[in-house]
Structure 1
């Protein structure tokens, strides 16, 4: 059934006795996503750049989604076998937390599936090996039970005769049962996570298709214990979990868990508004790209290549501490890498001075992210070459790649996600109503006809009232009443100066946006690192040793 039209438009009079409307409501809620050039993507991801492109194309997903999935999963497989050591006293694991932000059907799950597929193959092989080992142990345990029963009978008889009991046979004890090796989990309580981590010295990957439910549900059943657990899980710290069902606590020497998953913009917004600013969200590396065009894949994904690389990462042996227990092997930075890392730390401090809220907390974590990503990139380079030697030092080239990826690419994604998604609900509703008014050049609006449109954020009377209030304050509308035989009729007159609003918005962007050419908007952020400048279409990129300087599109 078609809906009746809203009141017809009238000729706008820019000279009418109305104040100038606030056109910032018409501007995009978010800045455009940053995009890496092909040259810079190749530089950062090296031997994995081609694989990532093929995987993204095959899954119809943005390249950033697949790339962050690879980095995060690799960080979990390295885990506590190798820790980066920029300088003495630094004590963080390489594990990463990654968040893929996008609307439904943006390609988040398919992108992660490209990385999870080889991991599932490894898990299947581990499960089969566990079944075999468990069956063998059960056979030994049955024999051991018989041998133990026979030994007890002989020992009892010897004691009764005043003789020494015979020694217990070695095969009277089958030993501890085998432990199933785990690489990832999708849903587990903190107690179960601690139990699993106590059985592996390396760490685990937490994979959640939708992160908002997991983050929003923390502490629901744990009396406030979930968030402290996960804060420690990011830092690889020692952690003790007391159990109700057992007298002894679970002690994890190094609580290291990588996290990867997706979420929708509106759900992330709810977490930002309602969540505690304890730094949990700030620890996530975020990608928030635009959806890619729908197309048919031209090449199949080389799952075997990534599976072999994952197995190489798993083969990294940890070191041993003074007590003979597993401990991470520390991978130091060479002098040039340390110089670059220190320069990045200084730049991060400058960025923090110009930020606030969750984005400021996120900026405060970026230095540590560069150390972690440097370690992951170095080991991914190694894992791609079966004849290479595992890295014992991290050089300046790897650190430069990590610093650029984290500071000058992922930082802009975080700004797009955090900085633009914290509008109050009434502001979002007002933006939607403002677009309707300008798009249809309306001269009058009323509650009933807005409700009949069934627009998102404008479905309830209180949402519409709040949006109308914002537009009145922004000098878009004036509230009028018309006497009737019953209740007075209420409607809102549209500011006639909005007649050329679309043209004026394009030629006069709001504060915080720069224009390369008419209509192009680039987010104005605190200064980037010295070799990066904000320009048309996003971010102009630094020159790379051995590669030509990318040309900006005209």
Structure 2
């Protein structure tokens, strides 16, 4: 008689015992101190979290590649993990066959990188259309800036400021050892430091929060749901920035860790939120000011003679120019140009000009250019 079933059971028992022992050894291993990660699987990332309770910084030079990686079939779990790291204080357990279980008290991850404006616009547009990106990932990238045109290049004449560099390094070094500097009476049951606003700073926060909540509940943002979702996360961004400014100030002065977050730090944080909102409006420009980006693109095409007098919205859409592939977007851009006097939009049926709302078949939307751009006077 064959004893294959018993051999299989024995192998399964051995593999289970091996995985358990391996997990115990990994848990007992000294932590691997890290600050920055660049290309790590979520399994390895969880191992690094366990050994670095202060958190990690993930640096990706090109965020578009990172986002596309998270959208691949089978990587949905990876995406969820990154979303959960945003709070910075959630416990997490990862169980893997052959690797055992990894227990993390709190996952904390910062994400730093760059992305080309066109790719970011495309990603935001797809998220707004209900693609995988419609899960709050973009809204979590709150300290995002969209610079204006950098202008003409000018060669730097000043040498590197070594004193400023050393000062910044010392601040980072001080912050890295912060957990050891915290007095015991400032820590919660988990050993995490707790700091409050002082009375003046609390007043600034209360006024700022009241204004934000009224905006989120009012009509101002009703037509811009993506921007509204982005600004709703400022509820935690403002106090987080205030704490960062407070700690940097202590580190720069090498001051003892006493007192609470003060007025100046709270005011700086509120000002930064106002600054970052202007950049967020650039990210969601197609929602905030529909047609502006399309109008710029169409103006370039008109100036280059690529849009002719008498072209229809359908003609333009069929050319499949970047950012002008949807009739609704093309029409929104033309509406902006029409308001600026560049074009006029005529609705035509055969040879007859018709008014909006008339029946008798579907009317064409015909572009009539201003004479300065090749239109007929």
TM over 0.5: yes
Counterpart of 1:457 in structure 2 is 322
Cα distance in 1, alignment partners of residues 125 and 329 from structure 2 = 19
* Contact 1:185–1:207 (Cα < 8 Å) also in 2: yes
Counterpart of 2:200 in structure 1 is 336
* Contact 2:32–2:52 (Cα < 8 Å) also in 1: no
TM-score, normalised by the number of residues in structure 2: 0.68
| Cα distance change of structure 1 residues 192 and 419 upon mapping to structure 2, 3 Å threshold | same
- SS of the equivalent of 2:211 reads helix
| Match status 1:313 vs 2:175 | yes
* Contact 1:429–1:464 (Cα < 8 Å) also in 2: no
Match among 128, 135, 150 for residue 292 of structure 1: 150
Counterpart of 1:245 in structure 2 is 98
Give how far 1:274 is off. Answer: 2.3
Give how far 1:298 is off. Answer: 2.6
| Match status 1:216 vs 2:68 | yes
Counterpart of 1:375 in structure 2 is 243
1:36-70 CA-partner distances (Å, limit 9, x unpaired)? xxxxxxxxxxxxxxxxxxxxxxxxxxxxxxxxxxx
Counterpart of 1:415 in structure 2 is 281
| Match status 1:495 vs 2:368 | yes
Give how far 1:228 is off. Answer: 2.4
Aligned residues: 305
| Match status 1:183 vs 2:35 | yes
Cα distance in 1, alignment partners of residues 235 and 113 from structure 2 = 22
Give how far 1:260 is off. Answer: 1.3
Give how far 1:471 is off. Answer: 7.9
- SS of the equivalent of 2:113 reads strand
Q: Which runs of 5+ in 1 are unaligned?
A: 1-174, 483-491, 502-554
| Cα distance change of structure 1 residues 185 and 422 upon mapping to structure 2, 3 Å threshold | farther
Give how far 1:272 is off. Answer: 1.6
Counterpart of 1:521 in structure 2 is none
Give how far 1:500 is off. Answer: 7.0
Cα distance in 2, alignment partners of residues 370 and 467 from structure 1 = 34
RMSD of aligned alpha carbons = 3.9
Give how far 1:388 is off. Answer: 2.0
Counterpart of 2:309 in structure 1 is 444
| Cα distance change of structure 1 residues 394 and 429 upon mapping to structure 2, 3 Å threshold | closer
Give how far 1:239 is off. Answer: 0.9
Cα distance in 2, alignment partners of residues 442 and 219 from structure 1 = 36
TM-score, normalised by the number of residues in structure 1: 0.48
- SS of the equivalent of 1:444 reads coil
| Cα distance change of structure 1 residues 420 and 313 upon mapping to structure 2, 3 Å threshold | same
* Contact 2:49–2:56 (Cα < 8 Å) also in 1: yes
- SS of the equivalent of 1:495 reads strand
Counterpart of 2:266 in structure 1 is 399
Cα distance in 2, alignment partners of residues 368 and 220 from structure 1 = 30
Cα distance in 1, alignment partners of residues 226 and 67 from structure 2 = 15
Give how far 1:305 is off. Answer: 2.3
| Cα distance change of structure 1 residues 325 and 193 upon mapping to structure 2, 3 Å threshold | farther
| Match status 1:229 vs 2:104 | no
How does 1:8-47 map onto structure 2 within 5 Å? none
Give how far 1:307 is off. Answer: 1.6
* Contact 1:378–1:394 (Cα < 8 Å) also in 2: yes
Cα distance in 1, alignment partners of residues 71 and 308 from structure 2 = 50
Counterpart of 1:348 in structure 2 is 212
1:518-549 CA-partner distances (Å, limit 9, x unpaired)? xxxxxxxxxxxxxxxxxxxxxxxxxxxxxxxx
Give how far 1:199 is off. Answer: 0.9
Cα distance in 1, alignment partners of residues 284 and 298 from structure 2 = 23
